[in-house]
Structure 1
Amino acid sequence: MDCLLCHRQIRESWPLGFLMLPQKKRVTTTCSDCLAAFHKIDREMSCEGCGRQQNSRKLCQDCLKWQAKTTYDFSNRALFQYDEAMKTYMHDYKFQGNYQLRHVFDVTFSHFIGMQTEVDFLVALPIDRQTWQTRGFNQVTGLLTELSTTDLLVMDRQKKEKRQSQKKRRERLKTSNHFQIDVECPEQIKNKRILLLDDVYTTGRTLRHASETLYAAGCRKVDSVTLCR
């Protein structure tokens, strides 16, 4: 197997038991050198509101601003720091459309999500029709090959409007809410606990729009988990 990132051959040792008995062993997709370039977030040294790596568990300045202008309860946990290595990965995975790269983190991210507080529904953030047409896949569900999610939300972004990835920070924060509850879901989510799933927490605007939509529909608790922050 060649590493999905550097394309060098990965040499693996297979225990004798795997050769003699019909057991399933997951193939390693990424070499240890490439994985070492990504940095996990230390929960004990991260913002308790958004998961940003910092020097304490106190709310960061961004979360203090959100707290001052919102009335609902919401927090995010993230697995990796959104550093240069992760930015390069996201560029190749999302914007270059290399769908195979989902396997770099799919198992690790799924395990991380499974460690969170018990919830009623796991909800991957949807993408709009224009993104489906150009990219061909939802980058979030691609990272969740070992988990089952429920489609509670739909996104309807105007065709002429920029995507979040094309906007600067100030533009992101001013983005309108494009999320709606799926017409078949209103009754099943009342008083339920929802865990939103996304790839990157940047300003938090998109995830908070989704949480606002779910709270307005009667959900009891909405939080999120992202691959990186």
Structure 2
Amino acid sequence: MQCLLCHRQIREAWPLGSLILPQRKRISTTCAECLGTFHKIRLKTSCVGCGRHQGSKNLCQDCQKWQAKVNYHFVNHALYQYDATMKQYMHDYKFQGHYQLRHVFARVFSQFIAAQSKADYLVALPIDDQTWQTRGFNQVTGLLEDLQTIEILNMKRNADEKRQSQKKRHERLKTSNHFQIDVECPEQIKDKQILLLDDVYTTGRTLRHAAETLYAAGCRTVESITLCR
């Protein structure tokens, strides 16, 4: 098996038990050297509001500003730091359309979600129709492995509007809410705990728009997990 990132051959030992029961051994898609270039966030020293990598569990300045603006509960948990290495990965995965790169993090991200989640429903953030046409896949659901999600949100965006990735920070924060509830029976989500799933938390504007939409529909609590922050 070649590493999905550096394309070198992955050499790994196979225990005797995996030869007898091969389903117990999962083939690695990424070599240890490449995985070592990504940096996990330590939960004990990350912001309790958004999961940002820092030296304490205190609220970061961004979360303090959000708390001064809103009156609803919302927190995000993140697995990896959104550093230069992760930005390059996201560029190749999302914007260059290398869908096979989902396998780099699908297993560890899904395990992280399963360990954190006590929600009634897992909801992957949707993408708009134009992104579907140009990218051909939802980068969030691509990162999920054997997790059951439900589609209760859709996104409607003007065709001439910039994508979030094209906007500067101040533009992201001013973005309008493009999410709508998309369920046949709104009672399905009333008083339920929702866990939103996304790939990257940057300013938090998109996730909070989704949370506000769900709270307006009667959800009891809304939190989120992202691959990186």
TM-score, scaled to structure 2 = 0.98
1:203, CA displacement in angstroms? Answer: 0.1
Which structure 2 residue ranges, 5 or more long, are not aligned?
none
Q: What residue in structure 2 maps to residue 17 of structure 1?
A: 17
Does 2:214 correspond to 1:211? Answer: no
1:116-131 to structure 2, matched below 5 A, reads 116-131=116-131
Q: Could you tell me the percent identity over the aligned residues?
A: 74
**1:103 corresponding residue in structure 2:** 103
- 1:186 and 1:20 map into 2 onto residues whose CA distance is 49
SS at match of 2:23: coil
Deviation at residue 185 of structure 1 after TM alignment: 4.2
- Asked whether the equivalents of residues 106 and 146 of structure 1 are also in contact (C-alpha less than 8 Å), the reply is no
Partner Cα separation in structure 1 for residue 19 and residue 220 of structure 2: 50
**Does structure 2 retain, via aligned residues, the 8 Å contact 1:152–1:185?**
no
What SS does structure 2 have at the residue aligned with 1:223?
A: strand
Tell me the distance in 1 between the aligned counterparts of 2:55 and 2:11: 38
Matched residue SS, 2:88: helix
- In structure 2, the residue matched to 1:42 is 42
Question: What is the TM-score of this pair, normalised by structure 1?
Answer: 0.98
Question: How far 1:115 moved relative to its partner?
Answer: 1.1
CA contact (8 A) 1:48 1:75 kept: yes
Taking the aligned partners of 2:173 and 2:92, their CA distance within structure 1 comes to 25
Contact 2:109 2:143 in 1 (8 A): yes
- Equivalent runs, 1:63-212 vs 2, <5 Å: 63-212=63-212
2:151–2:183: 8 Å Cα contact kept in structure 1?
A: no
Q: Deviations over 1:129-163 (max 9, x none)?
A: 00000000000000002211110100001100001
**2:7 corresponds to:** 7
Worse-matched range after superposition: 11-20 or 56-65: 11-20
Which residue identity does 1:23 align to in structure 2? Q
1:19 shift after superposition: 2.1
Specify the alignment match of 1:33 in structure 2: 33
Q: How far apart are the structure 2 equivalents of 1:21 and 1:94?
A: 35
Aligned residue for 1:53?
53
Kindly provide the amino acid, as one letter, of the partner of residue 50 in structure 2. C
Q: SS of the residue aligned with 1:115?
A: helix
What's the RMSD between the two structures over aligned residues? Answer: 0.9
| Number of equivalent positions | 229
| 1:191 partner letter | D
Contact 2:77–2:225 (8 Å) recurs in 1: yes
Structure 2 residue matching 1:71: 3-state secondary structure: coil
State the Cα deviation string for residues 91-141 of structure 1 (Å, max 9, x = none): 000000000000000000000001114110000000000000000000000
Per the TM alignment, residue 14 of structure 1 is displaced from its structure 2 partner at its CA by 1.4
Mapped partners of 1:177, 1:73: distance in 2:
18
Amino acid at match of 1:101: L
Question: In 1, Cα distance between the equivalents of 2:213 and 2:96?
Answer: 31
The SS at the match of 1:130 is: helix
Q: Which runs of 4+ in 1 moved over 3 A?
A: 21-24
* Contact map agreement 1:190 1:220 (CA 8 A) in 2: yes
CA contact (8 A) 1:47 1:60 kept: yes
